[in-house]
Structure 1
Amino acid sequence: MLRLLFFIISLVTPSLSMISLNTIKGTGKSESSSKKTPVTILVHGLDSSSKTWEKTMPHLDGPSVAVDQRGSGYSPLGNPDNFSQSVLVEDLHQVITANAPNDDEKVVLIGHSLGGRVVLGYAATYPDKIAALVIEDMDIEERSPTSNGLVQLKPYDGVFDRQRNSKESLVQALKEVGYPDSFVERALGNGRLEPNAKAPQSSTWWSHISPDFRKLCYEHVLSTSQGKADCRTLASLFKEKKIDFSIHVLVAGKDGTVCIEESIQEMNEILGDEQLTIHRYPNAGHSIHSTEALKYQETINDIISKC
């Protein structure tokens, strides 16, 4: 029986060099045994936020925390000159250590799309905090900004202001920097553009979408070979028997996936069948957790149960 999912908007206390990240917490389903269920940490991709997990979290076994990465959702961008994958990893480490503070506490770590590359980097950096790693519809291929046919950003000055005085001005601003009309309309429909929840007394509108985050992630994460390096780091640690957790790559259907099959096979060759399990969802779109929700939840709960 599902318990009520309590959404708790919280700020994770940062170190001096970090920023405060916004998170959403969920209680999920009742635990069916005396075994303590690890916390599940959920990390979104580009043009998204913790909101993408709102319908998933109530159906997961045990507690969960969804993160707004810097520059996304209600988390600030910080200094764009300091942006890197390692900074995103350290941001995530703040969240994980806040929710699993003891040395022996581990988490089930899930990343969708770009978030998959971030969680892979986290696992390679802090493997002792991982109970299981889930990468949803992402591979380790190097990707240029022009590899995405949906959104091609136009040049703009400074940092994009995600708060605007009206819905109309926010919609117009996103279109001006390159987001297609259809994309913006979908964002309105699923709450990625909404009245500013951080300033409810005002009439301002807020964008969970950040063109700055998109641009910086392509420059410093997706276009690099770090994904391959992180896979090799994990493979070495497994070989030396320093760590032992399962890695799962979830691949959407051919019409929805962003994964390149050769890159998925490269991950399998690097990590090996004993550590890596590839799950395929032929009818799913890129966001498997939304388009094949029941099968996705079954997969994740099975992974959680084995931790």
Structure 2
Amino acid sequence: MQFDKPPRPATLFGGRPLPAGHTAAGHHASANDDDLEPPPPLTDYFDSVSDVAVAGSDATFRVYQTRAADSESTSAGPLFVFHHGAGHTALSWALLAGLLRQRIQKCSVLAYDCRGHGGTVTADDADLSLERLAQDLGNVVNTLYPTPPADVILVGHSMGGAVVTHVAATAPGTLLKKPLLGVVVIDVVEGTAMDSLAHMQVYLRNRPDSFPSVRKAVEWSTTTTIKNEASARISVPSQLKPVPNAENPTKWVWRTNLMPSQVHWKGWFKGLSKKFLTSRAARLLILAGTDRLDTELTIGQMQGKYQLALYPESGHAIQEDEPGRLAETLCEFWDRNGPGKVIKRFPIPIKSVAAAPATAPPS
């Protein structure tokens, strides 16, 4: 299936612009409607899946892990902590997690469903404030890794990028017990995010409320939000739940109602660029196009304050569309900044910012 290069995303929930009134009403159930080819077992991507009750918290988190045998040793490889975007789940990282496990010896991976999403259960699923989500991340990591590996790298997509940046910008020891090696933000910047807030409601109103089968949901997703069908078959079912009804024996609806989260949208992204540029860790920004860069990040890139990687053939869900290329980028990022390495800083131009040429993004 061929796809055109997407324009700047109209929303941060991963959707391309939809015409008004576009729903799943045109989909009709058939005898083969549920004949969705099952994806490979999760053990191909993670070592374990569990529900973790966090002490002192109101939540039990659905957690997916790959844990190196000596992950609590200072000689262990990196621990990648993944935070998904709004409406997604930890399974959006499945293909990437499997590739990292193959490519980095002693690699540990932690991905979890944040509150209000997937299989996580909390006393207040509606509290998706930045502060609460950041505290949740710290609680999960500290509970599962009381002695974290030396190299902890936070990776966040869209809303998750705002969460990991907030954690990285917080004083060491406040949310996490160990200083970070790196923070990676995927396809979200403050300027573009704030500009897109007006379009989020339109997108949510126009996306299908329900589907007659999981298969139809996957088909819809591969034409609107995810280019990689292999990833969609893994991640999309975890975003749905069955609801019996009189007209159709079972329909499938979204697990997460994103409309009430509107009260938190501005809080997710306000100050994101400054926090990213001043965080005390190696910094990597991965975007689907240079049109996402706002002024502050453009200047920061010219001054060599962070590494920039561009994936022009990808949509918004880069970790699902380009898991192989993203795995290579993360491996290189850890290799460049890992054990015994001095965090690479691109030279700050001697000339004024206006006259200095921009640092070419890595290939």
- Same fold? TM cut 0.5: yes
Q: Does 1:219 align with 2:260?
A: no
Partner of 1:42: 82
- 2:199 and 2:84 map into 1 onto residues whose CA distance is 19
Identify the range of structure 1 (131-140 vs 180-189) with the bigger mean alpha-carbon deviation: 180-189
Q: Does 1:129 align with 2:198?
A: no
Q: Does 1:246 align with 2:282?
A: yes
Secondary structure in structure 2 of the residue aligned to 1:79? coil
Of 131, 137, 140 in structure 1, the residue corresponding to residue 190 of structure 2 is 140
Structure 1 residues 146-177: Cα deviation after superposition (integer angstroms, max 9, x where no partner): 323873238xxxxx9xxx9xx748999x9xxx
Partner of 1:90: 135
Distance apart, 1:121 and its partner CA: 1.1
Q: 1:141-160 alignment to 2 at 5 Å?
A: 141=191, 142=194, 145-148=197-200, 151-153=203-205
Partner of 1:283: 313
The count of aligned residue pairs is 266
Instruction: Tell whether the 8 Å contact from 1:25 to 1:65 is kept in structure 2 after alignment.
Output: yes
Structure 1 residues 107-166: Cα deviation after superposition (integer angstroms, max 9, x where no partner): 110001111111111112254531110001011132564323873238xxxxx9xxx9xx
Partner of 1:210: 256
- Alignment-mate amino acid for residue 266 of structure 2: S
Partner of 1:260: 292
- Alignment-mate amino acid for residue 146 of structure 1: A
- 1:281 and 1:210 map into 2 onto residues whose CA distance is 28
- 1:104 and 1:180 map into 2 onto residues whose CA distance is 36
Distance apart, 1:71 and its partner CA: 1.0
Question: Structure 1 residues 273, 77: CA separation in 2 closer, same or farther (over 3 Å shift)?
Answer: farther
- Alignment-mate amino acid for residue 210 of structure 1: T
Instruction: Tell whether the 8 Å contact from 1:49 to 1:209 is kept in structure 2 after alignment.
Output: no
Instruction: Tell whether the 8 Å contact from 2:241 to 2:252 is kept in structure 1 after alignment.
Output: yes
Distance apart, 1:278 and its partner CA: 1.3
Instruction: Tell whether the 8 Å contact from 1:73 to 1:208 is kept in structure 2 after alignment.
Output: no
- 2:55 and 2:319 map into 1 onto residues whose CA distance is 32
Instruction: Tell whether the 8 Å contact from 1:231 to 1:270 is kept in structure 2 after alignment.
Output: no
- 1:169 and 1:288 map into 2 onto residues whose CA distance is 26
- Alignment-mate amino acid for residue 252 of structure 1: A
Question: Structure 1 residues 153, 106: CA separation in 2 closer, same or farther (over 3 Å shift)?
Answer: farther
Partner of 1:193: 237
TM-score normalised per structure 1? 0.69
Of 259, 268, 271 in structure 2, the residue corresponding to residue 229 of structure 1 is 271
Instruction: Tell whether the 8 Å contact from 1:12 to 1:94 is kept in structure 2 after alignment.
Output: no
- Alignment-mate amino acid for residue 44 of structure 1: H
- 1:56 and 1:131 map into 2 onto residues whose CA distance is 20
Of 115, 124, 146 in structure 2, the residue corresponding to residue 79 of structure 1 is 124
Secondary structure in structure 1 of the residue aligned to 2:95? coil
Instruction: Tell whether the 8 Å contact from 2:126 to 2:261 is kept in structure 1 after alignment.
Output: no
Partner of 1:54: 94
Of 23, 26, 43 in structure 1, the residue corresponding to residue 66 of structure 2 is 26
Secondary structure in structure 2 of the residue aligned to 1:12? strand
- 1:181 and 1:288 map into 2 onto residues whose CA distance is 13
Instruction: Tell whether the 8 Å contact from 1:44 to 1:113 is kept in structure 2 after alignment.
Output: yes
- 1:247 and 1:22 map into 2 onto residues whose CA distance is 28
- 1:39 and 1:67 map into 2 onto residues whose CA distance is 14
Distance apart, 1:65 and its partner CA: 0.8
Question: Structure 1 residues 6, 182: CA separation in 2 closer, same or farther (over 3 Å shift)?
Answer: closer
Q: Does 1:299 align with 2:301?
A: no
Secondary structure in structure 1 of the residue aligned to 2:190? coil
Secondary structure in structure 2 of the residue aligned to 1:56? helix
CA RMSD of aligned residues (A): 4.1
Structure 1 residues 51-81: Cα deviation after superposition (integer angstroms, max 9, x where no partner): 1111111221201011111111111253256
Partner of 1:157: none
Secondary structure in structure 2 of the residue aligned to 1:290? helix
- 1:54 and 1:76 map into 2 onto residues whose CA distance is 21
Structure 1 residues 265-291: Cα deviation after superposition (integer angstroms, max 9, x where no partner): 413546874441111112122122222
TM-score normalised per structure 2? 0.60
